[in-house]
Amino acid sequence: MDNGELDNTVKQNHHVCNLAEWRRRLRAAAVAACLAGAVLPVAAVESTDESLPRYALEVSKSRNELLIKDGDAIIKRYHAAFGRGGMGTKRRRGDDITPVGAYRIMEFKADSPFHFFMLLDYPNLVDGWHGYRNRTIDASQFKAIATAYRAGVAPPQNTELGGYIGIHGIGEISPKKLDIHRNQNWTRGCIALRNEEVNELRAYVTRGTRVIIRE
């Protein structure tokens, strides 16, 4: 696979809804990256647990919505706010853009200033490859991202790609905050719901829950 073919594979990943196909393409992209000189062991892109949580989340940035889905059935629909950096996908720390792609919920934090926080596995292999290709991160950082993916743990959060992207609430409630949440994308790259909606969402998700984010 040459670099042009690899780029096409990576771009296609941002539009994949089927998790098995998504994983296959991620592995292929990472193997190609190894062959292209990223010094990434083939073993680092092999899948671990294929079991999937029942519910999945689908997010549309252009529609400002988050859906809870059970297969093709929509269980819940919420208004969501996104990164104030605008459309497109996240490429580096500080751009304030919500990433586009296929992710998983990794960790939960109950003492967040935004009420409750669900960490996503950003940057994933696709994000890592773009970062490596664009020289935002080096080969060792790309390898660390791939190794985390294989292990099913959160990837490094302190590279120039940024990190700590997740789903959270508003925090302390005020009429002004609620008005901003209804009418603006105000986060630094995360997906925000109202506090009571995050509480409700918590009952449907677990570690490993899929989160598909589209424009």
Burial of 62 (0-12, 13-18, 19+ CB in 10 A): exposed
- Mean of pLDDT values over 52-79: 96
**How far apart (Å, rounded) are the C-alpha atoms in residues 27 and 21?**
10
* Domain hosting residue 96, numbered range: 3-214
What pTM was estimated for this model as a whole? 0.77
Q: Residue 23 pLDDT more than 90?
A: no
Residues 165-205 have pLDDT tens digits of: 999 999 999 999 999 999 999 999 999 999 999 999 999 99
Q: What is the structure's pLDDT at 52? A: 79
* 37 vs 204, higher pLDDT: 204
- Cis check: omega of the bond before 53, within 30 degrees of 0: no
Neighbouring residues of 176: CB distance < 8 A, sequence distance ≥ 6: none
Domain holding 49: CATH number?
2.40.440.10
* Polymer length in residues for the chain: 215
Domain count for the chain: 1
